[in-house]
């Protein structure tokens, strides 16, 4: 209920900085919307680095909602949005004249060099209370802590994926992989091909794997961790992560998709193995010894989904997870409560400044 929702009053500024990739920007934008909806007086600045600001502005727009058209026709005035300020960091050419976009490695090196400097300048110029940074840029935590700022790490991927990368980082999961099955605490036994491609085919993506694993290089120094998931979606791995000593508090705040598709509380806001073995909302396509699948295999899977009993199971389970997702972000749900707990933590930080 929008009208009954309690708003904490906070006079502070939060800076949110994702990497310029849609799958990272969208979740952090949606989280920012929910955050400002819970905090009267809180200001959020979203950093758009190395990306056309028009693209980001379009991503911030609510999806088309026919309900608003009906209200307008009935003479109902639209509610005012909690707007988020956009700060841009434009692309800068490399000092030596080389093209920094020739590979993933050179791009991220150049991105870190430029954005870390501009980020530090921005944080020194304005009085921010908190920095929420994309987990792919752990160096942003270093910048924030050098200025003694509260810093929260935002993981856009699920806890299952986080657990896999964490195990690689800690040396508990060795790559290249040898065994066909991978047993990890908190996860069901996974086949090698169920793992992120950066892990099961690590020799083909050494730079990408390095950046994925580096998310855990300094995460223990963060004041808290946000994860784009919800508790009931990944119960076992959530319990395992919560039991880890010396980890920051983990707040699952997902799913971070527009409110209009979930609880509709914001009026102006319009994994391979888990998909099949835990959530039961998909079907595995079998590959050959070379890692390829045939059109016959694709046809078989489509027929199983469209014509067989498996399709009914998928439909039933999809409906179940949809309801649980709505419950998580609705008022009093686990994700909603985690956002409220963060708001209280932020308020306490501001009072102690």
pLDDT in tens, 247-272: 999 999 987 755 444 444 444 443 43
Which of 1-10, 43-52, 224-233 comes out lowest in average pLDDT?
1-10
Where on the phi/psi map is residue 206: left (φ > 0), alpha (ψ -120 to 50), or beta?
alpha
The predicted structure's pLDDT at residue 347: 83
pLDDT band at 1 (very low <50, low <70, confident <90, very high): very low
Where on the phi/psi map is residue 148: left (φ > 0), alpha (ψ -120 to 50), or beta?
left
Average pLDDT of 308-323? 73
Cα separation, 157 vs 353, whole angstroms: 32
For residue 266 the two structure tokens come to 């914001």
Higher-pLDDT residue of 116 and 198 is 116
Average pLDDT of 233-238? 89
Per the CB < 8 A criterion, the answer to whether 37 and 266 are in contact is yes
**327 has pLDDT over 90:** no
Hey, which residues does 45 pair with through a beta bridge? 15, 85
Cα separation, 269 vs 261, whole angstroms: 9
Hey, which residues does 17 pair with through a beta bridge? 133
Higher-pLDDT residue of 128 and 297 is 128
Class of residue 159 by CB neighbours under 10 A (exposed 0-12, middle 13-18, buried 19+): buried
Higher-pLDDT residue of 186 and 24 is 24
Residue 244: which residues within 8 A CB-CB, separation 6 or more?
Answer: none
For residue 183 the two structure tokens come to 């047993």
Taking domain 8-351, whether its CATH number is 1.10.3720.10 is answered by no
pLDDT in tens, 32-49: 988 988 877 889 999 999
Check the CA dihedral 18-23-25-31 and report its sign: negative
Higher-pLDDT residue of 62 and 108 is 108
Per the CB < 8 A criterion, the answer to whether 237 and 157 are in contact is no
**78 has pLDDT over 50:** no
Which of 59-63, 82-86, 140-144 comes out lowest in average pLDDT?
59-63
Q: Do β-strands 224-227 and 190-191 pair in parallel, antiparallel, or remain unpaired?
A: unpaired
pLDDT band at 290 (very low <50, low <70, confident <90, very high): confident
Separation in Å, CA 91 to CA 96, 227, 284: 15, 28, 40
For residue 240 the two structure tokens come to 């395992």
pLDDT band at 8 (very low <50, low <70, confident <90, very high): low
Q: Percent of the chain having pLDDT more than 70?
A: 82
Name the CA radius of gyration of the chain, rounded: 21
The predicted structure's pLDDT at residue 252: 95
The predicted structure's pLDDT at residue 145: 97
Check the CA dihedral 117-122-124-128 and report its sign: negative
The predicted structure's pLDDT at residue 65: 45
The predicted structure's pLDDT at residue 138: 98
Check the CA dihedral 202-206-212-217 and report its sign: positive
Q: Percent of the chain having pLDDT more than 90?
A: 40
Instruction: Specify the 3-state DSSP secondary structure of 17.
Output: strand
Hey, which residues does 155 pair with through a beta bridge? 227
Instruction: Specify the 3-state DSSP secondary structure of 47.
Output: strand
Cα separation, 343 vs 37, whole angstroms: 11
Average pLDDT of 231-248? 91
Domain ranges of the chain: 8-351
Q: Which of 59-63, 277-281, 286-290 has maximum average pLDDT?
A: 286-290
pTM of the predicted structure, to 2 decimals = 0.78
The predicted structure's pLDDT at residue 188: 84
* Residue corresponding to tokens 């909690």: 82
Cα separation, 284 vs 62, whole angstroms: 34
Average pLDDT, the chain: 81
pLDDT in tens, 103-156: 888 999 999 999 999 999 999 999 999 999 999 999 999 999 999 999 999 999
């Amino acid at each position: 209920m929008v009208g009954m929702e309690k708003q904490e009053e906070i006079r502070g500024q939060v800076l949110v900085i994702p990497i310029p990739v849609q799958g990272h920007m969208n979740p952090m934008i949606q989280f920012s919307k929910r955050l400002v909806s819970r905090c009267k007086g809180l200001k959020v600045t979203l950093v758009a680095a190395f990306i056309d600001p028009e693209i980001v502005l379009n991503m911030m727009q609510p999806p088309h909602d026919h309900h608003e058209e009906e209200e307008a026709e009935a003479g109902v005035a639209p509610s005012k949005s909690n707007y988020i300020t956009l700060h841009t960091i434009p692309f800068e050419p490399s000092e030596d004249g080389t093209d920094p976009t020739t590979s993933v490695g050179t791009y991220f090196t150049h991105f870190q060099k430029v954005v870390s400097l501009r980020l530090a300048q921005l944080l020194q110029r304005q009085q921010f209370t908190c920095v929420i940074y994309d987990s792919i840029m752990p160096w942003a935590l270093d910048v924030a802590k050098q200025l003694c700022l509260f810093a929260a790490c935002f993981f856009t991927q699920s806890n299952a994926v986080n657990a896999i990368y964490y195990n690689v980082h800690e040396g508990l999961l060795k790559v290249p992989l040898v065994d066909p099955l991978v047993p990890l605490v908190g996860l069901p036994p996974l086949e090698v091909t169920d793992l992120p491609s950066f892990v099961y085919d690590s020799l083909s993506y050494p730079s990408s794997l390095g950046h994925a694993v580096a998310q855990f290089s300094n995460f223990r120094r963060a004041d808290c961790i946000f994860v784009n998931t919800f508790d009931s979606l990944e119960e076992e791995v959530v319990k395992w992560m919560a039991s880890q000593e010396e980890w920051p508090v983990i707040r699952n705040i997902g799913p971070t998709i527009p409110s209009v598709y979930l609880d509709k509380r914001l009026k102006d806001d319009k994994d391979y193995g888990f998909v099949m073995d835990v959530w039961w909302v998909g079907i595995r396509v079998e590959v050959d010894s070379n890692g390829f699948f045939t059109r016959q295999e694709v046809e078989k899977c489509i027929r199983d989904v469209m014509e067989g009993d498996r399709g009914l199971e998928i439909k039933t389970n999809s409906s179940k997870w949809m309801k649980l997702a709505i419950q998580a972000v609705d008022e009093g749900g686990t994700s909603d409560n985690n956002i409220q707990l963060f708001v209280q933590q932020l308020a306490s930080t501001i009072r102690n400044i």
